[in-house]
Structure 1
Amino acid sequence: MSTAATVERPSKELLSFAGYLYKPAKSGLRAREGVLNGRRVQFFKGKSALNALTKSEDGKPSKFESREEAIEWIQELLDFQLVVRCDKETEASHQLRINPVQSFDEDAYYAWLYEGSQLMIILGGIGVVAVVLAGVMFPLWPVTLRNGTWYLSMLALALLGLLFVTAIVRLIVYVITIVAAPQGLWIFPNLFEDVGFFESFVPLYAWEQPKDAKISGGASTTADKNEKKTE
């Protein structure tokens, strides 16, 4: 592994490692938001980074077998100033200041100076400019294209209105049934759950699961919450 003394720029391996640790979806490291020199940054604790790099979760192997190896890589992030060691002004504050000692300590805090790949930001900026230009030049569009855009916008508004109507109707039905029966009836019980588009409309209806069954079942997944007594 290269060091800052012999290489002017971080290696591809180190940048890849920084990208891995930077993204919570990959490493599991949850960073918090703080302010460093008037700039909003993401920061984390050294111990949390070590745990994310050396502990296996959900059957996935850990990034490193030993904490010593993980510390070496984090120290290299410090050497290339991809992260910087910081101190909190107060324990409850998110105001940070740079620590003069830039060495790794698992009880210290570290702020990201690395911001990840800029490709998506660049593409997003290009997309925003393209949409704005397209809107400004709308009067110059061909008649058929303008008519098609109008019909698509009306269709989108109709679908949005249908969603609002469905939400209101299902709530009214639930209130009526929970008064008339021990359990409330939900139409499209998965409508606002974190599932796919088609799964949101399956099943068509379901009775709400009793509270005592939820308690006895303990912690449950989204599918468990939606498991109701259907006819």
Structure 2
Amino acid sequence: MQNAPKQTLNVVKYLRDPAKSGLRVREGILNGRRVEYFKGKSAVNAILREQYKASSRPAAADREEAAEILRDVLQYQFIVRCDRSDADDARKLRINPKMAFQEESYYAWLYEGSQWMIILGGIGLVAVVLAGVMFPLWPPILRDGAWYLSVAGLGFLGFLFILSIIRLILYVITVIALPPGLWLFPNLFEDVGFIESFIPLYAWDTPKKKEEQSSAMLSDAKKLE
């Protein structure tokens, strides 16, 4: 890994970021250690995406060129070819001695990325523990601030608890009186940002079937265009 060209390292960093590359990874166990692994076909698809194109990474015009790039990644031991067990636990992996790149084969990551974040996280954890142990020695103004913050946090949790009860009661009433029902803050418990959780203020509960039909109709319309 240490002697790998910079362009190859940039490819590895791109693939190691699923949010950017779209590489589909799974969790497995290799030699008793938990690892992430992926299929060669998924890695080729990731390199052929528009997001991959950059002057700092080798170009790939087709699947064969993308496979050649991944052969370099395999050669410098950022990944290792492995086989999945067909026994009781399919997550168990074993190393394949034939270190060749094929789209239908599986590859486990040996490269874990930058260790700086792990080191900083460990330092931060130790600092938090020490700060908690030394709480009686804090200056009065800091202790008062910590108390106010804890009260504010508990108050916010209480607010969310009461709000969830109110929105549920409102939904039950409206689903009986004005179906299909009204949700207050419909994105409150969705996987969105903090501000987006309170937008919009309310929304009617649309059945999933209608949503799927409308999305299907939109996709069909786009195909016709």
Shared fold, TM over 0.5 = yes
SS at match of 1:192: coil
- Conserved 8 A contact 2:36-2:109: yes
Q: 1:52 aligns with which of 22, 46, 58?
A: 46
Q: State the Cα deviation string for residues 78-121 of structure 1 (Å, max 9, x = none).
A: 21111111112218712111111111121111111011111111
Relative distance call for 1:126 and 1:61 in structure 2 (3 A) is closer
CA distance in 2, matches of 1:61, 1:12: 15
What is the match of residue 178 of structure 1?
175
Q: State the Cα deviation string for residues 156-187 of structure 1 (Å, max 9, x = none).
A: 10011101110111001111111122221211
What TM-score do you get using the length of structure 2 for normalisation?
0.85
What is the match of residue 78 of structure 1?
74
What is the match of residue 220 of structure 2?
none
What TM-score do you get using the length of structure 1 for normalisation?
0.83
Deviation at 1:196, TM superposition (A): 3.1
What is the match of residue 186 of structure 2?
189
CA distance in 2, matches of 1:19, 1:212: 40
Deviation at 1:212, TM superposition (A): 6.3
What is the match of residue 63 of structure 2?
67
5+ residue gaps, structure 1: 221-231
Q: State the Cα deviation string for residues 120-171 of structure 1 (Å, max 9, x = none).
A: 1111111111100100110000111101110110011001110111011100
What is the match of residue 86 of structure 2?
90
What is the match of residue 39 of structure 1?
33
Identity %: 59
- Aligned ranges 1:110-125 → 2 under 5 Å: 110-125=107-122
CA distance in 1, matches of 2:77, 2:52: 28
Query: How many residues are aligned here?
Result: 211
CA distance in 1, matches of 2:100, 2:52: 27
Q: State the Cα deviation string for residues 38-57 of structure 1 (Å, max 9, x = none).
A: 1111111111211221244x
Relative distance call for 1:99 and 1:203 in structure 2 (3 A) is closer
- Conserved 8 A contact 2:14-2:52: no
5+ residue gaps, structure 2: 54-58, 218-225
CA distance in 1, matches of 2:150, 2:215: 45
